[in-house]
Amino acid sequence: MASPYLKAALLTAALVFLGFFFISQLDAMRANELRANVEELLFQSEAERMLFTYSQLMSNDTNEICIYLSTAAETKASQAYALSEKIRYYEQSNLANADYERIRNQYYLSNMGLYLNIRAAEKYCKGTPYDTVLFFYKLKEDCPECRAQGGVLDKLRQARPSLRVFAFPYDTNLQFINVFVKRHGISQVPSLVINDRDVLLGLKNEEEVAAHLRKG
């Protein structure tokens, strides 16, 4: 009769193998869910940009694009910020898949695209109905104040449907984020840039943020 410890070791090996199989399935499922969400955002920002390019190259009428922007942005962009939390938590729970960096970067890219489209709409369509907030936080280390700031923004967003929050990590070497860090002179986190104009450094409460938003 084989030693009970040998049997136990074999059983353990089998269970661990099975366990890691389930884990890889679970992780892949979650990563796919995020990828699908991010792709949707990317598609939208690309679609908007195509329309801009079209209107600049082939027609002088920016009206079409302005109408499209004010309706389409409504539907998708509202999930742009919520997705960042989801990515964060899935990444924390993740064990097997390592391409979260890619998912995150694509997510920032789509976010930046959407943000720039709103800025473009402001320029070409004589203003935008949206208030925008660029929210800089720390990615690589835990930042409780950033979490707190996120909570404040969540509350504001619920009260104001016209508010668009775009969250970006401060500690990254992505060029398209760093140009904004430089442009607004962001030196600490959390920091907010409201409507590309007002820069608020440090944790701010709801009233302080709301004072810089349009009335309503």
In angstroms, give the least distance from the CB of 23 to other proteins. Answer: 5
Q: Figure out which of the listed residues 23, 109, 174, 213 binds other proteins, where binding follows CB under 8 A.
A: 23
Number of residues that bind other proteins (CB under 8 A): 40
Residues 6+ positions from 178 with CB-CB distance below 8 Å: 172
**Piece in contact with other proteins (CB under 8 A), picked from 13-21, 36-44, 59-67, 114-122:** 13-21
98 binds other proteins (CB under 8 A): no
Phi first, then psi, for residue 167 (nearest 5°) are -100, 135
Nearer to other proteins, 94 or 178 (CB): 94
Nearer to other proteins, 35 or 119 (CB): 35
Residue numbers 135-174 binding other proteins by CB under 8 A: 142, 144-145, 147-152, 154-155
Q: How far is CA 89 from CA 54, 156, 167, in A?
A: 39, 22, 15
In angstroms, give the least distance from the CB of 146 to other proteins. Answer: 9
Nearer to other proteins, 7 or 102 (CB): 7
Q: Figure out which of the listed residues 60, 75, 92, 173 binds other proteins, where binding follows CB under 8 A.
A: 92
Asked if 170 and 117 touch (Cβ cutoff 8 Å), the reply is no
The C-alpha atoms of residue 185 and residue 182 are separated, in whole angstroms, by: 5
Residues 6+ positions from 86 with CB-CB distance below 8 Å: 34, 37
Nearer to other proteins, 121 or 133 (CB): 133
Nearer to other proteins, 23 or 72 (CB): 23
Residue numbers 29-88 binding other proteins by CB under 8 A: 85
The C-alpha atoms of residue 150 and residue 165 are separated, in whole angstroms, by: 10
Q: Which residues bind other proteins (CB under 8 A)?
A: 1, 4-5, 7-9, 11-12, 15-16, 18-20, 22-23, 26-27, 85, 89-90, 92-96, 142, 144-145, 147-152, 154-155, 203-206
